[in-house]
Every structure is written in structure tokens, then in C-alpha cells.
Structure 1
């Protein structure tokens, strides 16, 4: 892969273009607040620019900016409060006093700056990872008991892309980022993994089991999950 290029577009802002030998087509997605493009190595650069322009309407419709302001974000089991601080004006600080977490942004920092957003998001994630077992697992165990399902064990895992995992031995791990989800979507992820206790593949049987565990709402909850606007910058 050759060195990436940064290009400014009127609507999209900064676009990062990476050239790859192992791809035959252009793909684009939002990552950390900017558009990240993968293009075949050797492709005409003007053609890449024209393709990105064609992609622009769809990319704009998919844009999910994270915006932080002073105030509170409430989730089941924990509330995050963002407030200003003047002790360390150029830093973002974090602390926990359950069931409340505090994100303290230095008064000299612009909360619309992408680097400040990333700092806020990182601290929120650090706090969520620390408290995830206490925030997520009691509800997961209770739901499993109500549905008469008995995983061998529960655990918390890192990572943003995989929200849950069920091993062949019946151990279920939930991603710590479920801390930032509403309860009904947390429960949907739990039901999804509980369904894997009976069917490991994503077969028709699996989806039928999952839908039954969700009281017939699996399709609705999957749509809500895909449309969910995360309060963190997912890597």
C-alpha cells in the first residue's frame, strides 16, 4: 500500500485516499469523522476523484457526526456528565462516582475539534470498559433466566465492531460498548447470543429462535440497531 493522500471536498471535507494492491474497486466509509477511501493501486487519480463525487450524496446521508456539549447522557445503570474545567485547561479529564461518570473538558478546548472529540470518546470508552461488568451483566443474566437460557459463563470483551460473541462451549461475551446503548438494544444483542446456544450458524433456524426470544421483534430491533447513533467514535 502506497502513502495515503488527503484531499478536500466541498461537502465531505477532508477525504483520506489509500491505494491498495489487493482491491479492484473503490470503497468509502466514514471513520473518525472523515471519509476514508480505498482505491486500487495505479488507478487514475482523476477517476478516483470523480467516483468520490458520485459517492458524495450517499456518504452525506450516512454521515453520523458525534457532537459533544455540556450536559448529561443517561444510559441504564450509568450517566455521563460532560462539564468544563479550568484546572487543566488544555486537557480532557475523566472520573467515576457510580452511577455517574464525569468528562471534564478544559476551558481552552473546542469541543467541535475532531481531536477533542476523540479524546472525549476515548475517556468515555475507558470508563465504560471499567464499569461494563457491573452495568451490563446483571441485566443479561436476568434476561437469560427469564428466557430459561443458561450460558456456561458471561464476560466482557473489548472491541467495537463485534457486539457479542457466543463460544461453542456456551460462554457469552458482550462488548463493553453496549454500555452506550438503550436497554432494548442491549437485550437484543443478549437474545442474539442466547440463540447461538441452540444454533451456532446464522441459519433460518437461528433467526427463528432469535425472533422468538425477542417476542417477534427481531427485525424491528435489527433496524433500530443499524440506525443507532453512537455517542462515541467507533474505531
Structure 2
């Protein structure tokens, strides 16, 4: 590894016949650099160094988000439809009980809650119930908002997407990430309305934003700013 790139952590290179340019995937502890067959590692190094500040800033944001996502008994976790409570128990595995808007997680007495293994087990369970709740709640909310504002759509699917909150196809099929469950009710509605507006205006032109302002009662910019404060978990 080039000494110049050591500041970014572990570096791995991938050659791709399909790639037409150098691409960098930023991770908290390093970079994955994809190169076209026509590019050299020296060219990749030069490219990475040219965007050094941007990479370091994003790595720092990712690390901060990772820290904020560490589960503790004291702070627990809160989603759109349920709260998470953690406690130790005399058992050998991580146990989940979902009841009346609360997800109770019990983990072994001798286990370290801050360890990666226990954290991953807890998050896997939380995400399972988030997805289950998203499938229960979000399609009905899409139907409700569509009816209220006069939109027509074909279908709603709940997905595990981590790159965007939602999308709408030209066939008027709406896809929503189950990670919407980490947002406030107002922002969930904002994302849903955004996709419903795409059933009328597929691009982000002036007519789209005028329609968004109409259905959000002039609060589009406010909700856009608020949504930027949230990040889909890494």
C-alpha cells in the first residue's frame, strides 16, 4: 500500500472490466478502490489524493454514526412504532420479545453488550422487527395519503435498501426502505409524498417541486433539511 494512502486506513483494489472510471467506496476503516483495466494504481492514488478532504470528512461522519448506533441499556433505541429495551438475563443467547409497542431484548449475563458480536445480534433482531412493522404500516399509509391527495399508484414494496429512502418507477410502483421506521411520522409522510408526486412528475423539475409544496403545505424545504440529519445505518 502506498504510504500516501495509509491515512485512509486499509486499502483494497478491485479490477473491473465493466468500470469506465476510478471509483472509491469509503468505509470507516479504509477504502475499496475499483479500477478500469486501463488505469494504473498510480493513477488511482493520484485520484484519491485529489479528493482527500472529502474522503476524510465522510470517514469521520461514518465513524460518528457508528458510535451513535451503539446500543446500551441506558439509552435503548426508538423507532416509528416501537421502543427497544435491553437487559441482561440468565440465558445463553440473545432473546427478543415484541409486545405492545416494545421490543424487549435480553442478552446473557456474561456477555459484553458493547462487543461487536452482541451488537450485531441485537441489531439483526431490531431490523427484523422494523421490517415487519414497515410492512404492516407503510403500505396502508401510502394508500391513505394517495387517497387524500388524489394520487394513483400501482403497488408498494418494502425493501432493505440502504442507498435511498424510497423510489418510484415509471409504472407507478413505489419502493420504500424499511429504514423509514427510524424517521419521525412527519418525515415518513414527506418521503411517501415525494414518491407519490413522482407518479405524476417523474423528474425533479419545477412542476415536481410545486406539486410537493402543494401536498406538504409549503413545508418541502423544511422537511428536506430535516431529512438530511438522518442517515440510513451503515
TM-score, normalised to structure 1's length? 0.73
Distance 1:75 1:125, change over 3 A: closer
Q: Conserved in 1, the CA contact under 8 Å of 2:81 and 2:133?
A: no
The structure showing larger relative contact order (alpha-carbon pairs under 8 Å, at least 6 residues apart) is 1
1:76 aligns with 2:80: yes
Q: 1:64 aligns with which of 62, 65, 76?
A: 62
Match of 2:221 in 1: 219
* SS, match of residue 98 in structure 2: strand
- Aligned ranges for residues 1-235 of structure 1 at < 5 Å? 10-31=6-27, 34-41=30-37, 43-62=39-58, 63-65=61-63, 66-67=66-67, 68-70=70-72, 71-84=75-88, 87-88=91-92, 93-104=95-106, 107-109=110-112, 111=114, 113=116, 118-149=120-151, 151=153, 154-166=156-168, 170-230=172-232, 232-233=233-234
Tell me the CA shift for residue 154 of structure 1: 4.5
Measure the CA separation in 2 of the matches of 1:184 and 1:81: 24
Distance 1:100 1:33, change over 3 A: farther
Measure the CA separation in 1 of the matches of 2:177 and 2:103: 19
Distance 1:101 1:110, change over 3 A: closer
- Greater percentage in strand: 1
Q: Conserved in 2, the CA contact under 8 Å of 1:163 and 1:177?
A: yes
Bigger CA drift: 219-228 or 123-132?
A: 219-228
Query: How many aligned residue pairs are there?
Result: 225
Distance 1:96 1:11, change over 3 A: farther
TM-score, normalised to structure 2's length? 0.73
Tell me the CA shift for residue 218 of structure 1: 2.4
